[in-house]
Structure 1
């Protein structure tokens, strides 16, 4: 399995795509689809918590560990574990190795740019671009290029 991921990463670097050829915008669109369960074009804090904390928490400790997050992200969005590891550390605001509702609170405050308790899909996309750029060697700052 490790050889396959290394090969996929090298192939992704060469082609500027993740292991399934998805662009950054395509990954963000998949995340939006997973979050916006009622398809109203709005992401609420509850939807974000249900997706990232409740659904991705596997061992019953009310904490999404780096391992749990990596396993789910790689399986769902087909990115390399090293990329996911760095992403996890960016969203783990208090650096306790656990994603929980306190981390979601911090990010939702940033995500909800107009303070109305709801985040539009555009607000979420802007947030994700800001969060994801700068740590992955093949994710460009230009939205139209591939990851």
Structure 2
């Protein structure tokens, strides 16, 4: 019986990790605007423009959370955590310095490129770590 419980727990974990990988891959596809299987600094910056309601080139916490609450209200708690992660210098705005820091987090090889594998690996781990804040699948 103990072995069965362990097997079920392992299968559940594998299924969730698979879901996170699939979700991260979908996110990569929407971020890789030119389809070259890499995410550039420009593509990362572009992915944040939808949050910048007043067009000042910076995303405030209010702007970010307004967008999250308007389009995906069930992800409010996750949005809060993501904003903290994105705002690397903790100045309460996401701007070019934060885009650069985010790019460097994703670029684990340090070669100045964010590959699909690097992106998916980062986001899969982040989704697993924040699974209690969002639905899976």
Distance 1:41 1:118 in 2: 10
More helix by share: 2
Report the equivalent of 2:14. none
Name the SS of the counterpart of 2:120 in structure 1.
helix
Where does 1:80-91 land on structure 2 (aligned, <5 Å)? Answer: 80-91=75-86
- Structure 1 residue runs of 4+, over 6 Å off? none
Distance change (3 Å), C-alpha of 1:97 and 1:121: same
- C-alpha distance after superposition, 1:21-80 (max 9, x if no partner): xx544542342222111111110111101111x332110222111222233345556642
Aligned residue in 2 for 1:110: 105
Q: Structure 1 residues 26 and 48, CA, compared in 2 at 3 Å: closer, same or farther? A: same
1:73 & 1:119 partners in 2: Cα distance? 25
The answer to whether residue 84 in structure 2 is matched with residue 94 in structure 1 is no
Q: Any idea what SS the aligned residue of 1:70 has?
A: helix
Question: Contact (CA 8 Å) 1:30, 1:77: kept in 2 or not?
Answer: no
Structure 2 unmatched ranges of 5 or more: 1-18
Please give the per-residue CA displacement for 1:63-103, whole angstroms capped at 9, x wherever unaligned: 11122223334555664212211221122111111111111
Following superposition, the deviation at residue 146 of structure 1 comes to: 2.2
- Structure 1 vs Structure 2 CA RMSD: 2.6
Give the paired residue count: 119
Whole-Å Cα distance in 2 between the matches of residues 25 and 74 of structure 1? 24
